[in-house]
Amino acid sequence: MMNDGYNSATTPEVISLIDDVLGTLADTINNGEFPEIGYYGSSKKNVEWSENGYEPVNAVPSFVDGRKVESAKTIAGLVYGLTCFKEHLEQKMSMSLRDLLDGEL
């Protein structure tokens, strides 16, 4: 199942997972390759709730192909979002509080 082991992950475990994803993306790009990222849709029609958390309806994920311009933008957005989320976790701040403090500086 997709969620095995992640429903009760600690903050350090999530940060480590984010580091792994970002590291893999960086290694792929540094090796001159285009990243291909599999993902499951997150809309109501693509997931169902079970005792194990949200589960994808489809057994096969969709993929972002880094060779396409739109996909490259999506990957850049993913990197930015993961980096912000990691910072948020490390500082133990809500996104809104962090954003407020950034605006006051």
Model confidence pLDDT, tens digit, residues 44-95: 777 787 887 777 787 777 888 888 878 888 888 889 989 988 988 898 876 5
Q: What are phi and psi of 48, to 5 degrees?
A: -130, 150
- The pTM (predicted TM-score) of the whole model is 0.65
Say how far apart CA 12 and CA 69 lie, in whole Å: 33
Q: Is residue 26, in this structure, part of any structural domain at all?
A: yes
Query: Which residues constitute the domain of residue 93?
Result: 11-104
Say how far apart CA 29 and CA 10 lie, in whole Å: 29
Q: Is residue 88, in this structure, part of any structural domain at all?
A: yes
Burial class (CB in 10 A: 0-12, 13-18, 19+), 98: middle
Structural domain count, the chain:
1
Once rounded to an integer, what is the mean pLDDT over residues 2-26? 79
Q: Is residue 76, in this structure, part of any structural domain at all?
A: yes
